[in-house]
Copies of this chain bind each other. A is one copy, B any other.
């Protein structure tokens, strides 16, 4: 990004030009000190905040519109996992000193599309100098009918464990974005590589599952730090354990193609993170209804194991019944 020789717009000009068009009704055109949200009667608010930093959570040369999609998507994914419908978000935009208006325009285009897709308008924000890498902090607000937020720590022994979509694509896509590309990456076809990188760049929050999680799931969280680590976290929160059948963990065709070249990438797939899929548990009797509803919503939901008694770390079994251990328990961004 070249630093423009033109005078920089002021914060007020930036707001008027780029952000006000994204503002929902409660954003008051971003011309007040605060935003206004009229809660739906009989609902609870669900609140989440997640930040992404250039060079830490994304590559500085990722497309600006993709960065926007990720910054909002990681927050929407938390709302989805709690069974919440989005109501709006606030944005903290801490810009590096080398930002330019073309980048910001692309960023806002991506943000606008992602927000429209999720019916989650911009309510307010703050723009500051980062004096370092760009940071995008989002606080997202959603709603659930009173008392129905799906919790992380409420699994029960005997519950079936399910996971949406496919696991590992984003972690493999991240490896393909790193330079130099590993030999296994070179061995993949372009469509396979593109599919994996797409999942890394563009998290797809599973908002379509939200009402069905409320109706049928016992516990849920989103998979952001790797299936292995996040499942362990979910079971610790309930003081329970789990048995997982590795062969039932849903993998995309693209991920399977990568594993065919280099089988030990399974570690990356299951521990790498950035999946933004839903991990949930349900009473076995509720599983058929949950799976049917998710099917109708267009989101596959695979049964991968069972919640078990005891506080030991979850056990992952291969097709032969052997126990497989994974290198990293959980990816930590910190």
| CB closest residue in chain B, given A80 | B33
B45-A90 in contact (CB<8A)? no
Instruction: Answer yes or no: A315 CB below 8 A from chain B CBs.
Output: no
Instruction: Answer yes or no: A151 CB below 8 A from chain B CBs.
Output: yes
Q: Which stretch, A128-136, A159-167, A265-273, A306-314, touches the partner chain B?
A: A128-136
A84-B34 in contact (CB<8A)? yes
For chain A, the count of residues having a C-beta within 8 Å of the partner chain is 68
Q: A129-B334, A135-B94, A139-B49 are in contact. Are A79 and B41 (CB under 8 A)?
A: no
A57-B132 in contact (CB<8A)? no
Instruction: Answer yes or no: A250 CB below 8 A from chain B CBs.
Output: no
Interface string of A90-127 (1 = CB under 8 A from B): 11101000000000000000000000000000011111
Q: A48-B124, A128-B56 are in contact. Are A78 and B146 (CB under 8 A)?
A: no
Q: Which residues of B contact A50 (CB under 8 A)?
A: 126
> Copy number of this protein in the oligomer?
2
Q: Which residues of B contact A78 (CB under 8 A)?
A: 33-34
Q: Which residues of B contact A237 (CB under 8 A)?
A: 31-32
Q: A57-B128, A333-B129 are in contact. Are A38 and B33 (CB under 8 A)?
A: no
Which of A52, A91, A131 is packed against the most chain B CB atoms within 10 Å?
A131
Would you list which residues of chain A between 45 and 95 have a CB under 8 Å from chain B? 45-57, 78-79, 81-82, 84, 90-92, 94
Instruction: Answer yes or no: A152 CB below 8 A from chain B CBs.
Output: yes
Q: A56-B128, A56-B129 are in contact. Are A92 and B137 (CB under 8 A)?
A: yes
Contact of A94 among B45, B47, B51, B125 (CB under 8 A): B51
Which of A35, A82, A132 is packed against the most chain B CB atoms within 10 Å?
A132
Q: Which residues of B contact A124 (CB under 8 A)?
A: 47-49
Instruction: Answer yes or no: A22 CB below 8 A from chain B CBs.
Output: no
Instruction: Answer yes or no: A37 CB below 8 A from chain B CBs.
Output: yes
Task: Please give the distance in Å from A184's CB to the nearest CB on chain B.
Answer: 28
Bound-state CA distance A16–B127 (Å) is 30
Task: Please give the distance in Å from A328's CB to the nearest CB on chain B.
Answer: 12
B130-A135 in contact (CB<8A)? yes
B130-A132 in contact (CB<8A)? yes
A53-B129 in contact (CB<8A)? yes
Q: A48-B124, A92-B92 are in contact. Are A32 and B152 (CB under 8 A)?
A: yes
Q: Which residues of B contact A128 (CB under 8 A)?
A: 51-53, 56-57, 135, 333-334
B32-A153 in contact (CB<8A)? yes
- A/B interface sample: 5 pairs, CB < 8 A: A36-B149, A48-B90, A49-B92, A49-B124, A127-B334
**Interface of A toward B, CB cutoff 8 Å:** 10-12, 14, 26, 28, 31-39, 41, 43-57, 78-79, 81-82, 84, 90-92, 94, 123-133, 135, 137, 139, 141-142, 146, 149, 151-153, 221-222, 233, 237, 332-334
The 4 A-B pairs of least Cβ separation, nearest first, read A132-B132, A39-B39, A139-B139, A34-B48
